[in-house]
Amino acid sequence: MPLKRRELTRPTGEREYKKLFIIAVEGAKTEHQYFTILKTMAPPIIQIKCLKGNKSSPHYVLKTMKNHLKEEQLKETDEAWLVVDKDNWQDEQLNKLHDWSKTRDNYGFALSNPKFEYWLLLHFEAGHRITSSRDCSERLKKYLPDYNKSIEANQIDDGMITTAIKRAKQLDNPPSDDWPRKTGTTVYKLVERIIWPQALKPTAI
């Protein structure tokens, strides 16, 4: 079922409401491209800023976010999210990101196990019997034969995103408080907040 965009009317004397999502990611290309595609499908009140540091690790993802927030402070209605892969990172490393996400109500942490491509795979199938990063990549290439860490806007539509969210929720049941310990992803939590911001309201000057 296609995503329905929520229309907001701006009362006289109030400026247009905008909600900013700042997203620090681990990947150099795929995540940036995906969230760029997502921005075109989100309601017009949503803005997305995707950050990429110089190195790929949970430590540097968190460092990139902290450095950015020193320069651009969040409003109460904005959100900051860390998006990383499980890969071979240790729980101790990931706990630091999870702990950070609990320090404020508008911070978030999303992880894909084994990697972000698993979230992409859920746009095409249920993602069963994936046991490694290699399995994930090979399965994804069944649907995107030319995939090489790059995804085009015409390869994802709003109906596929709705389906991916549903599948990810079924895997993450009961919902994990930190991150999936087995194959799964919590990226759906972030994507839901971007494309279905039911609670958002315009703010007056």
> Is 3 contained in some domain?
no
Residue 171 burial (CB < 10 Å; 0-12/13-18/19+)?
Answer: buried
Domain count, the chain: 1
> Is 1 contained in some domain?
no
Using a cut of 0.85, tell me whether the model's pTM lies above it: yes
> Is 166 contained in some domain?
yes
> Is 82 contained in some domain?
yes
> Is 205 contained in some domain?
no
Q: Distance (Å, rounded) from C-alpha 96 to C-alpha 197?
A: 28
**β 184-185/107-113 pair status:** antiparallel
> Is 77 contained in some domain?
yes
pLDDT of residue 18: 86
Q: Tens digits of per-residue pLDDT, 72-108?
A: 989 999 999 999 999 989 999 999 999 999 999 999 9
Domain range holding 71? 19-195
> Is 7 contained in some domain?
no
